[in-house]
Each structure stands twice: as structure tokens, then as C-alpha cells.
Amino acid sequence: MKSSTLENLLVNELLQHLLPLFTEQGVTDSILGDLTDSDLRELGIEKLGERRRLLRAFSQTCEAPHNKAQKTDSKPSIKTSPQEDFTYSAADGEITITGYRGRGHVVIPDKFDDLPLPVRRIGDAAFKENGMILSVVIPQGCTDIGSEAFWGCSSMETVEIPSSVNYIGNTAFGYCSCLKSVTIPNGVTSIGDLALYGSIVDRAFAHCERLERVTIPNSVTTIGKEAFYSCSSLKSVTIPDRVTSIGRHAFYSCSSLKSVTIPNSVTSIGEEAFASCSSLKSVTIPNSVTSIGEDAFASCQPAVLEEYMQWRKKKLNYRY
């Protein structure tokens, strides 16, 4: 008897022990591409890592026919995704994307045929927990990315954010565990809250476990609490010289981060901001820094701790 696609996939992923959960619920090959992270949890698959592996494999399986037909070009199509896969609302002459039920490489349209108004906003939780998304292109003209907009898109590797975007909400890309690189455009003035200054706060990219590089634009002045919490693959971060504060747990447990240059504009570094960055062996603390929270560099390499102790001695001498 010929094995099903599901059986072969589970064997390849060394997850064949999960087959009874699928067969008991009547899951067939034809609906694999429609399964979400929530569906897998309801099936009884409790381990997050197993769900991520399955969603990624399901997505690749569903993309295979398309990729076969496109032998000479493995890049995503530049055509916009089917408009019927989106839900949206209109107000004040502009469109807000409110939901998406598709998969694969997503290219968001800049307007819709039945309502030709500009797409200005990705709504709160619009793509939340869609584990079938591999990449996203946000159209030029979009200005806002709402809170939790792409939270839990566990297979998404790349996202293109246009220069028109000036606001990215709380945990917009939280738990995007396959996201490898993010370049925040210069137009962004706020990431994580609605403050009047540019900021990155409240777990905006927390637990993006494969995020390797971050470029923060000059428009940002604050990196807030847990902004890059547990981004364990983060190797490089560029902090612009307009940033004045680095919040509590901002880079906590970024265990691949090896060096950080803190610009002269920074005046405060929060509690455990770089704690458990176990590979961090080089940091520059400028004279502009007037306060460093408790255990800011705990469990970092000895050279970093020595730099911190030198800073403390300088501050004590200035005080007396």
C-alpha cells in the first residue's frame, strides 16, 4: 500500500509517532496546507518545536508544485497574492488589512479591485499564528503595522518593510522563530508604543530565534524592555547615535551576540539589558552613560564585566 504524503512527511521529520493523532481526527493530505498552529495544538501536539517543524514541512510540500514549474527561478513571484485570501476594512478613505487565510510567499496588494483605496495599515493580529507564511512583502504606502500583526508566524524567514512605514506595534513580530534578518526603514519613528519619540519596546521582536542581524534607523531614540529578548541567533545589531536609553531585558539571552558598541547618545542601560549574552566579549560603555541597572551584563564574558567595573570606578570618582 502506497504511503500518504503525510506519512512520508512525518517519517522525514522523525515525527512518525504523531501519525495516530492525525489519523484519529481524519486529517488527509488535501488539507495539510490549511492547518494552522492552533489546529495542531487541538490535535494534541503540545511541543512548540514539533508544531513549527510540521508547519514548515506542510508549507514546503504545498509550495512544491509551484516551485517545480518555476525551475529557473526560486525567488517568490512579484505578483500580489490572491485578493480573496485577504479580509480588510475601509475607513477614512483607506484600507486596513484585518486577516489572511493564504500561505507561502505573501505579497500584500497596495489596493483591492473591488475597493480601490490605498492600503495604509496592517491591522492588529492580522496574520497572527499563520505558520504557513514563508515571506511577506508589505506595499509602499503602508504606514502602520499593528500589534501582534505577524505574531507567531513561525515559518516566516523574511519580511520587506517599506520606507513609508512609521509605526510598528507591540510584539508585531514576536515568536517569528525563523525570521533571519530585519532592516527597519528610516521612516519608522515608533516601534512598540505611540510615544512621540522613536522607540522599540515591549517585546517587538522577542523570541525571534533565527534573527541574525538588525539595523536600527537613526529615527529611533529608545530601545525598550525585552525588545530583542531571547533572540538567540542575533549576531549583529547596529545602534544609532540618537538612542538615549536601552531598556530592561532589551537584549537578554541574545547568546550569539559577540560585540556591541553603545553610542555616546545613550545615558541609561536598564536592568539585565545584556544579561545571559554568554558570547558577548566586547562592549564599549561611553562616558555619556549615567546609570546602568542591576546585572545589566551578568553572565557575559570577563572582558565585558571588566569594562563595566571600569565604568563604575569612573562614576564613583566623579561622585566624590
> pLDDT, tens digit, for every residue of 288-306?
999 999 999 999 999 999 9
Class of domain 180-319: alpha beta
Tens digits of residue pLDDT in 43-80:
888 887 788 778 878 877 655 444 444 444 444 445 67
Q: Which pLDDT belongs to residue 195?
A: 34
Provide mean pLDDT across the span 27-40.
82
* Percentage of the residues of the chain whose pLDDT score is greater than 90: 40
Architecture of the CATH domain 5-69: Orthogonal Bundle (1.10)
**Mean residue pLDDT across the chain:** 84
The average pLDDT across 120-146 equals 94
Tens of pLDDT along 260-269?
Answer: 999 999 999 9
pLDDT at 157 over 60: yes
Give the pLDDT score at 38: 82
Residue 308 has pLDDT above 70, yes or no: yes
The predicted pLDDT at position 96 comes to 98
Q: Which residues pair with 135 in a beta bridge?
A: 105, 158
Higher pLDDT, 178 or 181: 178
Q: Write the pLDDT tens digit of every residue in 10-27.
A: 887 778 888 888 888 888
What pLDDT was estimated at residue 7? Answer: 87
pLDDT at 52: 77
Residues 6+ apart with CB under 8 A from 294: 271, 272
Provide the 10 A C-beta neighbour count for residue 319: 6
Q: Is the pLDDT of residue 178 over 60?
A: yes
Short-list 142, 102, 144, CA closest to 123: 144
Phi/psi-derived region of residue 176, left when phi > 0, alpha when psi is between -120 and 50, beta in every other case: beta
CA distances from residue 189 to 40, 186, 220, 239 in whole angstroms, order as listed: 37, 8, 6, 15
Q: How far apart are CA 259 and CA 116, in angstroms?
A: 48
Q: Do domains 5-69 and 180-319 have the same CATH topology?
A: no
Identity at 317, one-letter amino acid code: N
Look at residue 200 in the predicted model and tell me its pLDDT.
Answer: 65
pTM above 0.75, yes or no: no
Domains in the chain: boundaries = 5-69, 180-319
Question: What is the Cα–Cα distance from 116 to 121, expressed in whole angstroms?
Answer: 15
* pLDDT score, position 71: 40
Name the pLDDT band for 194 (thresholds 50, 70, 90): very low
- For the segment 77-104, the average pLDDT, to the nearest whole number, is 89
Task: Give 82's DSSP letter.
Answer: P
